[in-house]
Amino acid sequence: MSSYLSAACAALLCSAASFSLIMTTPTDVKPVVATAKEQRYTDLRRLVRCLEELEGGQWHHPGGKLCFTHGTWQAHSKLPYIQACNPTVAREVAATVLIHHEGRLLKEERIPTVRVMALCWRYGYDGAKTTQDKEKYGERVANLYADKEFYP
């Protein structure tokens, strides 16, 4: 009986000692976090569909449903601006624009989250860094991205 009790006490002391070791970790230990280059945060097709929904344009209007500006279209496509009204072409060009922004974010070691990518889409890369986003555009896109089911 006493050997059983001493074994139980020894186990209890060992667990208490290991608990105190866990609780007294050094303050300079930092958690391991993957860098922005090791992760892909966004499904670009899904993000483009969210942008389509929030931009509120119509496919038959200039700039199409994604509300492309003439300058953005020319910077990322060699096709005529009228092609922004073609859903298939416009979605491809939108993905190209987002890939461009994602590359710039990664180059600066910023994480290209859905919210940040949406702000880059709306305000341009430089504008996204300085905007206050009073309309909560980035947040609305991120919520739509997380909650909405899109069907082909």
Query: For residue 120, what pLDDT is reported?
Result: 92
Query: For residue 152, what pLDDT is reported?
Result: 52
Q: Which of 117, 99, 84, 105 is nearest to 36 (CA)?
A: 105
Residue 67 has pLDDT above 50, yes or no: yes
Query: For residue 129, what pLDDT is reported?
Result: 81
Query: For residue 118, what pLDDT is reported?
Result: 92
| Residue 7's pLDDT band (cuts 50, 70, 90) | very low
Q: Which of 90, 95, 107 is nearest to 42 (CA)?
A: 95
Query: For residue 133, what pLDDT is reported?
Result: 75
**Backbone phi, then psi, for 89, in 5-degree steps?**
-65, -45
Burial class (CB in 10 A: 0-12, 13-18, 19+), 46: middle
